[in-house]
Amino acid sequence: MNAQSEAYEAALAAANVPYVLRGAERFFERPEVREAVVRLRGAARAGADAETDGTGLIRTVRHVLSGAGFSDRPPEGAGAARARWESLAALAQLSEDMAADNPKAGLPDFVAELEERAAAQHAPPLEGVTLASLHSAKGLEWDAVFLVGVAEGTLPIIYAKTPAQVEEERRLLYVGITRARVHLNLSWALARSPGGAQARRPSRFLDGLTSKTATHTPARLDRSTKRRPVRGPQPCRVCARPLTAAVERKLGRCEDCPAELNEELLVALKDWRAGVSSEQRIPAYVVFTDATLQAIAERCPESMEELAGIPGVGKVKLDRYGTAVLGLCGG
């Protein structure tokens, strides 16, 4: 979808890989995004944080975006209204990511981040990677094609309810697969963003494609059997209240609940993260977010099992960084 392009535009720009966006304006050139940024910039200058004191960056951004037509629920159907909503929803998601990385971030910080991203993505386009939605790729071919986000809720999209709508989504996937002349790569992510909840599953369309991609998804038309157990919200480890905010889920507690913080360990963890970030040439938050480091400094895990129980420390990060982190916790 066009609304997903911002993450890939940002990643390619950060890696100095030229790209061309086909079938839509670049994310920050879309009229609804430009209007929203203007509104956010004006709200930051007017001190909107003060007007919504205590609600946090996420609610502040959503409050401002509501003036541009954003709502918690998307409009019915497709078309221009849906595309506009998806662009605004992408901005709202960016605010959630920033709040998770830096709980103290305010609206001016968010606006500065948007302007920095816009500057990086407004560089003159050169021949390079083509970013295209499945719809805009019709009739075109490339030697190598990467189909990303082949996950439940994206392909088929969550709003495809009827068998006919699901089959239309399957035909879209077929369009994408047949764009490749030589190389084809299909991928999906466990989480929507780095450090996020790892709850995503590969698309049902991949079932049986190979032995490694079978996801044993039950038939969608028979909802009377084999229902997945419903998991409730994570409870606060101090007061047991259900945690709903992203930052609180990372910390494992309410923001106002007391917790012992090993400040020396937190400083050591941030210094270590900075070194890894520089060595691997990746953003610091990709290693671990600030909220995850704070949770580690509060809990001081003594084993891989305890470290794995902290939100934001998945298997890949545990294998890659677990030994170093435990060394700092024990040192």
Band (pLDDT 50/70/90 cuts) for residue 77 is: low
Whether residue 180 sits in one domain with residue 100: no
In percent, the amount of the chain with pLDDT more than 70 equals 79
**Calpha distance 259→238 (Å, rounded):** 8
Residue 128 covered by a domain: no
**Calpha distance 20→134 (Å, rounded):** 15
Residue 92 covered by a domain: yes
Give the model confidence (pLDDT) of 202-215 as tens digits: 888 888 775 554 44
Give the pLDDT of residue 123: 47
Give the pLDDT of residue 81: 79
Q: Which of 14-28, 37-51, 131-145, 260-274 has the lowest mean pLDDT?
A: 14-28
55/226: higher pLDDT: 55
Closest of 43, 54, 32, 29 to residue 108, by C-alpha? 43
Q: Which amino acid is at 8?
A: Y
Band (pLDDT 50/70/90 cuts) for residue 76 is: confident
Residue 4 covered by a domain: no
Give me the CATH number covering residue 197. 3.30.160.800
Closest of 252, 292, 256, 258 to residue 272, by C-alpha? 292
Residue 251 covered by a domain: yes
In this prediction, residues 299-308 reach a mean pLDDT of: 90
Average pLDDT of the residues of the chain: 78
φ/ψ of 185, rounded to 5, equals: -130, 125
Band (pLDDT 50/70/90 cuts) for residue 97 is: confident
- The 10 Å Cβ neighbour count of residue 84 is 21
Give the pLDDT of residue 55: 57
Give the pLDDT of residue 224: 44
Give the pLDDT of residue 229: 44
Give the pLDDT of residue 230: 40
Give the model confidence (pLDDT) of 228-257 as tens digits: 444 455 677 777 777 666 666 667 777 667
- The 10 Å Cβ neighbour count of residue 85 is 18
Give the pLDDT of residue 29: 78
In this prediction, residues 174-186 reach a mean pLDDT of: 92
Whether residue 109 sits in one domain with residue 35: yes
Give the pLDDT of residue 83: 73
Whether residue 55 sits in one domain with residue 107: yes
Band (pLDDT 50/70/90 cuts) for residue 183 is: very high
Whether residue 148 sits in one domain with residue 116: no
**Calpha distance 58→75 (Å, rounded):** 21
Does the pLDDT at position 330 exceed 80? Answer: yes
Does the pLDDT at position 325 exceed 90? Answer: yes
Closest of 127, 107, 133 to residue 51, by C-alpha? 107
Residue 225 covered by a domain: no
Give the pLDDT of residue 326: 94
Q: Which of 121, 156, 172 is the last residue of a domain?
A: 121
Whether residue 253 sits in one domain with residue 202: no
Give the model confidence (pLDDT) of 31-68 as tens digits: 888 899 999 988 888 876 655 544 578 888 988 998 88
Residue 83 covered by a domain: yes
Distance of CA 216 to the CA centre of its chain: 25
Whether residue 29 sits in one domain with residue 110: yes
96/55: higher pLDDT: 96
Give the domain extent around 260. Answer: 233-331
- The 10 Å Cβ neighbour count of residue 127 is 8
Band (pLDDT 50/70/90 cuts) for residue 195 is: low
Whether residue 193 sits in one domain with residue 281: no
Give the pLDDT of residue 120: 66
The predicted model scores a pTM of: 0.39
Does the pLDDT at position 303 exceed 80? Answer: yes
Total count of domains within the chain:
3
Does the pLDDT at position 219 exceed 50? Answer: no
Give the pLDDT of residue 48: 64
Does the pLDDT at position 258 exceed 70? Answer: no
Give me the CATH number covering residue 313. 1.10.150.80
Residue 160 covered by a domain: yes
